[in-house]
Each structure stands twice: as C-alpha cells, then as structure tokens.
Amino acid sequence: MTGTVHIIGAGLAGLAAAVRLSGAGRTVAVHEGTAYAGGRCRSYHDHATGLLIDNGNHLLLSGNRAAHDYARAIGTEHRLTGPDAAEFAFHDLRSRKGWRIRISDGRIPWWIFDPAWRVPDTTWRDYLGLAKILVASDRPLGEVIACTGTLYDRLIEPLMVAALNTSPPESSALLARNIVRETLAVGGEACRPRIARDGLGTVFVEPAVAMLRDRGVAVRLDHELRALVLEGERVVALDFGGDRIDLSADDAVILAVPAWAATALVPGVSGPTAFRSILNTHFRAVAPAGTPALTGVLGGTTEWIFVFPDRVSVTTSNADRFMKEPREKLAETIWGEVCAVTGLTGEMPPWQIVRERRATFAATPEQNARRPGPSTAWKNLVLAGDWTATGLPSTIEGAIRSGNAAAALM
C-alpha cells in the first residue's frame, strides 16, 4: 500500500506503529482522543505533590526486547536505568526482614544453588516444580504449580502479580509461561530491572511524538474517533464527530485503542471484557542514600516501592479491593509501610493516589481466549493494543509488539 496510514490512539501501541511506518517512509497520521499522548503509560504534572509523576510506576526487564528497540529507535534507551545485575530487594513487613535475590546469567540457573542468591529458607529443590510453567497450556496457573509455600510467597506471587496484575492461581498459565520463557528461563541478562527514572513520558512518549512531528506526521490530539464508516470489505471514512476524513483506496487504518473502545467501534470484534485495577501512591520524599531503586514488599498494602530522585512511589497491583477505600487512609497506611522499609521518618509528605481502574485486562485463560489477532474482516483495518493476541499480558512489551505487528501488515 502507498496511501496514508491513519493510526487511532497514541498509546504505546499506536506510537510504536507510527514510529515504524514513518521510519519506513510511509505517510502517517495519528489521531488521539484525549489531550495527551501515552495512554496508560504517561507522565504529568501533579498539583498535590508539585511533581512530575507517572500515572503508574512501570517496571520493564532487560529481556523486553521490543520495548528496548523502540526506546533505541526514538533515542531514549539510555534513560531506562537499573542495576547491572538481575538483583531484586525484598522486605517482609511482618518479620521486618529484608533480603535480596540475584538471578545468575545464562540458562543454567546457578543462582538457585547458592543460598546467598536464592530466596531465604528455600532449597534448590523447591525451584524444580517451576519448570512445569515452561510447558504449560492455557489453564489457571493454580492448576500447574502449587500456589503456596515460601518460594511462592516470597518470589513467585510478587513477580506474577506484577506481571499479570491478576491473582496468580486464577491467572493464565500460558501468559505466565511466555513471560518466564523470555526472562527467568533466559537468565539474569534478561531479568535486569529497568525503570524510567526521569518519568515515563521522557522515555516512551514525548520523544516519539517529537520524532513523528519532525518526520512530518500529523499527531492530532483531542481528535476522538466516533465511528468507522464501513462499506463492503473496507473502511471508507473516519468519523470524528465534528469532521470526517474520507479514505482513498490506498489508505489504511490501525485501530490502537483499548479493548473497550475497539469492540464498540468494530462490529463483531471480540476482546477482553474483564479488567483489573492498579493503585499507585506517590510521596514527595527523598529516600535515604542506598535505598534500592526497587523493593518488593510483602505483608502489607504496598507491593513495590520505586525510588525516584524526588519521590517515592508505591505500586499495588490487582487492586480492585482498594478502589473504594478512603484515599487519606490508604495514603497513611502506605506511608507507614514506606517508612518501615526505607527508614524514612516523620509526618506524611505531600502525596497523590492514582487509581487506574482498567489498568490491564484480567490475565485469566478465559480473557486471554477472547483476544483477537491484528487482522480484521475489513481489508484496510488492522488492530493493535496490549489486549490483542500478543501472547503476553497487558504490558509495554505487548503493546509495542502489537504496534510493530500492525505496522508490518501495512
């Protein structure tokens, strides 16, 4: 095709497709419904804390190749920071004990044989059962591995909840398998934690939009697609309410909007119908020197503490149970936990709570089975987004891969 590719949605799926296609010399236009690009992965100025915050802390691993390639393509890979080793700090609020695990490089998991590197109070034999994940079919993870015991409580549950945003026993073993195959099974070189230390926007969003505009791509914000005008096997026009764009025979559309928007716009398209929320709590505080950039926390509301230069931010995944809790009470509980882990003291500093109610689709086998591939019944309409059939849960990596896959079909 040689016409214009209209990309609907400027989340990471849409931006990745736009970067690929414009880089290949294609004519591209991006239409974003809100006033900002980035979708569920963005930074903004927050009045309560007076800081630039992210809508939610995002953790990548060094094995997320598509995400790193995308960042490299827009010149921001160096802004994804993290340790040189696959090391993770943990703290249990109940026992007040902390420990670190370190995953050795290479496919042979030497680290499970070293008591200093593996999870405390586990033996190497405990890890053997995890091999079952590597060959799992799509059934609940709870039917594949025992979701109890020290190894599960201290490592598998925290990692799986972070990756799948769904209670592990009910999660899709297939999605867990695909993550494990690309990270833990590869070894430490694929498991190094990577964080957008200066904000998600500076790594994934603003430089991409600037690059697109430099290349002559129109990135139109506040331009919400209201309807696709479909005739026979083609999309013939885009209806934005106030204006309409008629498509020529060579024009095509990548619909890179969330599942709920896509299923409303495209007749007969299936998609996930159940979603899970994520709670993020940001404090304007500087953590004591030496505090790890990332700490997994057990036994409280806090699950992961992220330390940034000017703030300490806490993630609680699979957080539907906290959506109705009073904000002040939640912030106080979480601040107490942050103090217990980091050694910070004193009155609660300025804070903000961000509750993303439909942060990800529920990563269950049933929901996974509802995900469509990129092609549709309309010849010039392709789907993208973390909710399409990427083989991964709702993640940056999945979103970017879906954008790349959609671009490859143009």
Give residues in contact with ligand FAD (CB under 6 A): 8-14, 31-34, 39-41, 55-56, 58-60, 224-225, 256-258, 261, 278, 280, 356, 359-360, 385-386, 394-397, 399
Shortest spacing between CB 262 and ligand FAD, in angstroms: 8
Euclidean distance between CA atoms 262 and 373, whole angstroms: 13
* Closer residue to ligand FAD, CB minimum distance, 26 or 355: 355
Calculate the dihedral angle through the C-alpha atoms of 145, 150, 156, 158, rounding to the nearest 10 degrees: 140
Shortest spacing between CB 122 and ligand FAD, in angstroms: 25
Shortest spacing between CB 338 and ligand FAD, in angstroms: 18
DSSP β-bridge partners for residue 194: 60
Element (H, E) at 76: none
Euclidean distance between CA atoms 314 and 337, whole angstroms: 10
Shortest spacing between CB 86 and ligand FAD, in angstroms: 16
* Closer residue to ligand FAD, CB minimum distance, 196 or 338: 196
8 Å CB contact between 406 and 26: no
8 Å CB contact between 133 and 169: no
Element (H, E) at 355: strand 351-361
The amino acid occupying position 12 is L
Shortest spacing between CB 402 and ligand FAD, in angstroms: 7
DSSP, res 79 = G
* Closer residue to ligand FAD, CB minimum distance, 256 or 312: 256
* Closer residue to ligand FAD, CB minimum distance, 8 or 285: 8
* Closer residue to ligand FAD, CB minimum distance, 26 or 282: 282
Q: Which of 284, 375, 389, 383 is nearest to 338 (CA)?
A: 284
8 Å CB contact between 29 and 252: no
Euclidean distance between CA atoms 319 and 299, whole angstroms: 15
* Closer residue to ligand FAD, CB minimum distance, 11 or 109: 11
* Closer residue to ligand FAD, CB minimum distance, 252 or 399: 399
Shortest spacing between CB 227 and ligand FAD, in angstroms: 9
Shortest spacing between CB 71 and ligand FAD, in angstroms: 12
* Closer residue to ligand FAD, CB minimum distance, 105 or 224: 224
Shortest spacing between CB 200 and ligand FAD, in angstroms: 8
Tokens of 21: 């296609």
Q: Which of 202, 132, 138, 140 is nearest to 166 (CA)?
A: 140
* Closer residue to ligand FAD, CB minimum distance, 112 or 305: 305
- In the block, tokens 């930074």 appear at 43
* Closer residue to ligand FAD, CB minimum distance, 307 or 359: 359
Question: Taking the alpha carbons of 264, 266, 267, 271 in that order, is the dihedral positive or negative?
Answer: negative
* Closer residue to ligand FAD, CB minimum distance, 118 or 370: 370
Shortest spacing between CB 213 and ligand FAD, in angstroms: 17
- In the block, tokens 């990332």 appear at 294
8 Å CB contact between 11 and 228: no
Q: Which residues contact 22 (CB under 8 A, 6 or more apart)?
A: 28, 211, 212, 215, 216, 217
Shortest spacing between CB 201 and ligand FAD, in angstroms: 12
Shortest spacing between CB 64 and ligand FAD, in angstroms: 7
The amino acid occupying position 342 is T
The amino acid occupying position 188 is G
8 Å CB contact between 330 and 322: yes
Tokens of 183: 């990270």
